[in-house]
Structure formats: C-alpha cells, structure tokens
Amino acid sequence: MSSLSGLRALRALGAPGHPLLLLCLLSMMRSSLADGNLTGSPFTSLRLREEMLAKYSNLSSVIHNISLTEHSSVPVEKNITLERPSVMELQCQFTTSGDLNLVNVTWKKGDELLENNYPVNITGNTFYTQYMFTIINSKQMGSYSCFFGEEKELRGTFNIKVPKVHGKNKPLITYVGDSTVLKCECQDCLPLNWTWYSSNGSVQVPIDVHTNDKYVINGSYANETRLKIKHLLEEDGRSYWCSAAFQLGESEEHIELVVLSFLVPLKPFLAIIAEVILLVVIILLCEVYTHKKKKDSDDGKEFEQIEQLKSDDSNGIENNAPRHRKNESANQ
Amino acid sequence: MPPSPSAPPPNPIPPDGGWGWVVVGASFISIGFSYAFPKAITVFFKDIQQIFNTTYSEIAWISSIMLAVMYAGGPISSILVNNYGSRPVVILGGLLCCVAMILASFSTSVIQLYLTVGFLGGLGLAFNLQPALTIIGKYFYRKRPMANGLAMTGSPVFLSTLAPFNQYLFNTYGWKGSFLILGGIFLHACVGGSLMRPVDLKEHTSQSKNTIAAKEDSGIKKASKASTIGKINKYLDFTLFKHRGFLIYLSGNVIMFLGFFAPVIFLAPYAKDRGVSEYYAAALLSVMAFVDMFARPIGGLIANSKLVRPRIQYFFSLAVMFNGVCHLLCPLADSYTALVVYAIFFGYGFGSVSSVLFETLMDLVGAARFSSAVGLVTIVECAPVLLGPPLAGKLVDITGDYKYMYLASGAIVVTASIWLLIGNAINYRLLAKERKKEKGRRKRSASPSKETEPLSKSKHEELSVEVSKVHSIPSEKGREKERESNI
C-alpha cells in the first residue's frame, strides 16, 4: 500500500517533463528498498519502474469497474479491448450485509495469484479494492479476476484483449477466371500492420505478393485491408486469414473463399430450360388437340345450322324465333 | 338492379370462366414477375456494390431504371398487344428478361448492369405486365374484378418468395450464378404466356345472322384506316385523351403515386430511426406484404359484389383515402406494436388499392381500349412513381424527421382520393344522363323497323342476361352512339 502511495505522489508530481526529479525519487526509493523499509517485493519495484516508464511516454490511463453483491450467482465479466500500452486501473466493489471484516479479497491473473498489496477501502456496506498495473506487451494481456471470499467465492473478471477484426461471416463465392477482393477491417482501431495468410487445413502460409501479380494487398485506410486475387483457379478456394498486429498482440479473422466452375450453376439452368420447354410444348399440344376437337364438333354443328337455316328460310321469319333461341342456348 | 359499369361489355361477350381461370393464373405469374422483381433484386445490391466498387445509390439505380423502363415501355407493349394479341408479347417478354439476366451474369461494370438488368429487363417486364392485364379484360366481364384482384395478388406472393429465394441463390452460387439461374426462372413467364390463349371468336363470326353486322363493322374500319390519325389510333388509341373517365383516372393516379410508394420504401428506415432493431424493422415489411397478399383477393371479391360493382370508382377512391389516412396517423405510432398495427392497416389499404387499380381503368374505358389505355397510363405514371421516393427522401433530409414525410405523403394521397371521388361522381352522373338519352333515341329508332329488330334484340337478351339492355349492341348505329357517350 505504501508503494502505491508513493506512486501516487509521483503522479502528483506529474509531468513527465521532470526527469531530474524522477531520478531523484527513484534513487530515494532504491535506497529505501535496500533498507527494507518498504513492505514491497521486487515485483513492486518492477511495477514502479513500469509506472514511471508509462508516465514518461505519456500512456493512456484506463479505468474499469465491476460491482458485485452477495446475490451475484453468475460470475460477472467485463470485456476490455486495448490497442496501445496503457496504465490499467481495475476496481472491484462488493456490497454485502454481512460482516465486511471477514471478507478476504484476492486478485488473480488467470489462475496465478497476484501480490496481495492492493488497496482495500471499506465504506459503509461496500468493500472497495483496486488493482493497478501497466500493460506494455502481450504477456500482460489476459483475464484478471478479483475474488471476494466468505462462505462462497464471488468473482468479477476483466477480460483484456486486443480489438477484434471483422471479415465476412459467409463464404465468398466466385468463379474460375474471376478476380475477387477479400476485405478485413477493424472498427475504431488502428493496427500497426496487416498480414495475410492462406491456409490449407492447419498450415498457414503467408501470401507472397511479389512473385507474380496474382495477389495485390492494399488498404484504403489503415483500419482496413484488402487482398485482391486475380485469375482465380479452383485451387484458390480455401481459407484466407488476415492478421492485424498491435503493440499488445495480434488479432486474426478468417474468410472462406469458394471457387466454382461455371458448370455448377449451368446445370440447374439447363434443367430449368428443359422443364420450361417441356411445359410449353405440352401446353401448346393440348391446345392444338382441343382446337381440333372443337373444330370437328363445330363443323358438325355448322352443317346442322346451315341445314336448319335453309329449311327455316323457306318457312318464314316468325317461326324462326323459338328454334333459333334453342340453337343459341345449345351453342352456349 | 344489375351492375351497370361505366363502359359497355366487349363485343364478343367474354366467357367469364372455364379457361379464363387458367389465364388468371398465367397473369398471376406475369404480374408477379413485373412488380416483385425490381424489389426482390435489391437483395443482391449490398454484395454487388462491394464487388463492383461503387456506392449504394449507384447500384440502386438498377432498380429505378428497371421500374422506369417497365412503365415507359407501356405504349410499345400496348401497340404490340393491339396488333398481335397478348400471347406472343408475353412470350417475347419472358425471353427478353431471360436474355437480360444471362447477359447480366457476364457483366463487368455497373453500366453493363444498367443496360442488361435495367433496360432490357425492364422492357421484358413491360411486355409481361400490359398483356397480362389486357387479357383478363378479354376473358372476363361479370367476374372481372375478382379475376383482377386474384391476378394482382401475384405481386406480394412473388415478392415474399423471390426475396428469400434470391438470398439462397446468392449464398449458394454467388451473384453470377444467381443471375444465370434467375434468367431461367424468368422463362416461366413464357410458360404463362403460352397459357394465354386468344379468346375464341369463331362462335360469333360463323353465325349467318351476324354477318350483316360484321360487314358493316368492316366498313367502318375501312373508313378509319384511310386517315393517318385513324392509322395511329389503330396502333395506340390517342383518342383516349378526350375520354372523360380516362382523364379523371389519369390525373387522380398521377397525384396518388407521388405519395404512394415512399411510405413503403421508408418504413424500415423509419422504424430503425424510432429505435427498432433491424430484424424487427424488416419484420414490419413482411407483415405488410402478408396482409397485402390477402387484401387483394378480398378487394377483388368486394369489388365484384352487386353492391359495389356499379360504384367501383367510389370503392377505389375510398381505398385510396384509407391509405392516406393511415399515413397521416402513422406519426402517432410511438411503440413497436403501434407500428405493427400501422403496417397491418397499410398493408390492407395497399392491397385494396392495387386490387382494383387496373379494374377501375377497365371499367372506365372498356376492355377494347384497355390495352392502349394502360400503356398511356403507365408512361405518364412513370414520372410520379420515380420522383416520389427521392423527393420524399429529400424531405426527410431537409426536415430531419420522417414524420413530415409521412404527413406529406398522407396529404397527397388524401387529395388524390378526394379528386377521384369528385371527378367520378360527376362522371357517373353524366354517364347516367347520356344513357337516358341513348335509351330515348333507341326507342324512337326502334319503332319503324319492328320486323327485323325483335329477333336480334331477343338473341342478345339471352346472351347478356346480367348486362343492362342499353349496353347490348344490336346495330352499328348503336355502337357509334356508345362511343360518343364515352368521349
């Protein structure tokens, strides 16, 4: 705890523009270390050094908070994405109605127990604890948990990861001889570097841009990268991985490329054409058939009509009316 | 009182059944393709946009061009139908669409997509839409509103099946293969076209009693052929622009279409703007399409009833007003359930209007002139249909709130409905007056020739039981008078 207050003092002194002052304090602390006055361990001095390095290079400070109550049954988790080295301040607070003095708090990174000199503060019903550290490289990334032990252990976890890269969820379907563009992007983040791999099974082979102009990698903005593949062949249909490198680690995403030959959609197309031609031929044949039938019966009827009209004309117009009407109703 | 529509029944009395219902099925397919495809193809746009490296608005032009050409190609379609009948034109339309999609699958730039899918595809759809509507008028008279309502149901049914089908095709074959297979799917319009048998006219021409009338009929045709205006009118009937009913319909519809489609297009963005998640916003459109599917046959059924058919123009105007009122009330919807209720009512209104949209035109101009009428109507409607949504979008951009767009659309649609109501009320009254005059004139002309008239009159009474006597066409004199009364 005292080391922390010392750190706080350093921070209060503040500006990274006081190297002399810092050096003075450093030497002071080192001497006090030698005296064994500080309850700290080598870990503390390491942390101290990292803190000062952080201050010197003007790192961002990230603070995150988890609240737990005695009723929290599900482990509470918080996901944190970090791009750049930062000073982390993880805070846990625990509210209970029971006796707070019996509560035992521990911090762990994964399964590894961290040093037990973190500040603890009890205010009313709430138990505050805090863990501060600096993240500089990928080794410090991971899951940090605070444990409150009473009868049952309550746990809050901070998952610190690099930002996720987004590609495409669905496979990209292309045809032989086409060219296609595979795109990977990282929202709200700026990777240092992008790399593309192609994998056949488990082996990842980096993509060679320089051999021929089959592959072209370019990015419009730094948070986006595009891989253009020309003259696709069927062997090109495999998984492609884009990897974004940050200071604190790497983030990958894979895109599935499927290369089909033109015969694949051609078969259903020809099947449909065959079906349509068949239907049209059947329909037209049916029509010709019913037309013929009608013509034959019509010719017969016409003949009858003409015969009747010939006989009607000789009888006179008045007698026509009832017979003509009967003919009409028969034709309808 | 038997239904007495504004226009007389066509000269060969339509069969009203039998093969007609098969033709309704064929029209269902053609109308389905025509209206649903420009909307269903938008499923591909997001992915095509990335492949061709363009903005979304550039890709969306494909749909607009397709719709524009479909409407603008109306007169060409009408001329072809007037000369060759519906069947060859629909088959040609199906082949054009198929070729368009096959060519589109080989395209390498957006411009090529504009030309193939947009222009050629739109033309093919135009050759599908007009003949499908025309042939219903040739096959039906008494049950025509029902037939029209059923055929127009093709649009929502095809949209709900084509949209997920397109998504499936894209996931399996990519955009190239999808376009190829869609070309094959379009050929089914040809199947529908082959079902559209021309109406059999033999029964009437073979009877000796009618040969006199037929000869005199051909005499009139020869007279009109002589003048050039007559020649043009044989291809595309421009005299329709003197037709009172036609002008009322055209003007009312032009106003209506300005505010008709924008609410559909902006429903999902409006819902998202109100905080609804993307999935639920899309569900609103599905609800609307589902209700639309049932509203169309119901609308056809209502329009066919004895009570509504003589006053079908009022039914149309009221349906349009219903739509407008829905849009005016939409801004009041403050929760997702309220939006769903709006979608249901809107779907019902949209379906009702669509079911009688072309039936009312047929009712006004008659089936004989319908093919020219629909061509002229669609080319004029091209403008408001295309201008409506971008103008609405601009309104949203300027005011920053979708509410004003809905109020504006609602106001426009209500204005159109009032215009149609008043116009049609006047039209009905004038037509009733003309009919009375006609009756009087015929009674006077009937007295000198008692021997020859009764036979032909009684024959036509048999044929047209449910059609009022005034509309029977015994002689060429009566026919001329009918034409005059409609101008």
The string of pLDDT tens digits covering residues B449-486 is 555 444 444 444 444 444 444 444 444 444 443 343 44
Residue A295's region, left for phi above 0, alpha for psi from -120 to 50, else beta, is alpha
Token duo for residue B25: 């099925």
- pLDDT, average across residues B394-406: 89
Query: Are B458 and A287 inside 8 Å of each other by CB?
Result: no
Chain A neighbors of B178, CB-CB under 8 A:
265
State the residue for tokens 């017979």: A323
Could you read off the pLDDT of B81-126 as tens digits, one per residue?
A: 988 989 999 999 999 999 999 999 999 889 999 999 999 999 999 9
d(CA B223, CA B13): 25
Residue of B nearest to A295 (CA): B202
Q: What is the mean pLDDT of residues B28-56?
A: 88
Please give the share of chain A, as a percent, with pLDDT higher than 70: 73
On whether the CB atoms of residues B41 and B97 are closer than 8 A, the answer is no
Q: Which residues of A touch B51 (CB under 8 A)?
A: 180-181
Bridge partners of B10, per DSSP, are none
Number of Cβ atoms within 10 Å of the Cβ of B474: 18
Contact criterion met (CB < 8 Å) for B455 and A324: yes
Q: Which of A173, A266, A317 sits opposite B174 (nearest CB)?
A: A173
CB of B119 within 8 A of CB of B157?
Answer: no
Give me the mean pLDDT over the A111-116 stretch. 78
| pLDDT confidence of residue A278 | 96
DSSP reduced 3-state for A246: strand
The pLDDT of residue B470 is 42
Res A7 pLDDT > 60? no
Minimal Cβ distance to B174: which of A175, A298, A306: A175
Would you say residue B218 has pLDDT above 90?
no
* Maximum mean pLDDT: which of A54-63, B50-59, B226-235, B255-264: B255-264
Provide mean pLDDT across the span B263-290: 86
Instruction: Decide which of B250 and A178 is more confident.
Output: B250
ipTM over 0.85 threshold: no
Above 60 in pLDDT, residue B315?
Answer: yes
Nearest Cα of chain B lies from the Cα of A174 at a distance, in angstroms, of 6
Using CA coordinates, name the residue in chain B closest to A269: B181
Under a CB-based contact definition with an 8 Å cutoff, are residues A70 and A33 in contact? no
Q: How many helices (H) and strands (E) does chain A have?
A: 5, 17
Lowest mean pLDDT among A53-62, B163-172, B410-419: A53-62
**Stretch B65-77: mean pLDDT:** 92
pLDDT beyond 70 at B80: yes
Confidence grade of residue A315 (pLDDT, cut at 50, 70, 90): low
CA distance B181 to chain A (A): 5
**A280 in contact with chain B, both atoms CB, cutoff 8 A:** yes
The pLDDT of B26-55, averaged and rounded, is: 88
Give pLDDT tens digits for A123-159.
Answer: 877 888 888 888 888 888 888 888 877 666 778 888 8
**Interchain CB contact of B463 with A (< 8 Å):** yes
A332 vs B contacts (CB less than 8 Å): 462-463
The rounded mean pLDDT for chain B is 84
What pTM was estimated for this model as a whole?
A: 0.74
Task: State whether residue B44 is helix, strand or coil.
Answer: helix
Please report, as a single letter, which amino acid is at residue A279: L
pLDDT above 50 for B176 = yes
- Establish if A173 touches chain B: CB-CB under 8 angstroms: yes
Report d(CA A168, CA B19) in Å as an integer. 51
Q: Which one is predicted more confidently, B216 or B254?
A: B254
Q: What is the pLDDT of residue A214?
A: 83
Instruction: Tell me the chain A residues in contact with residue B207 when contact means C-beta distances shorter than 8 Å.
Output: 305
What residues in B contact A265, CB-CB < 8 Å? 173, 176-178, 180-181
* C-beta of residue B250 within 8 angstroms of C-beta of residue B377: yes
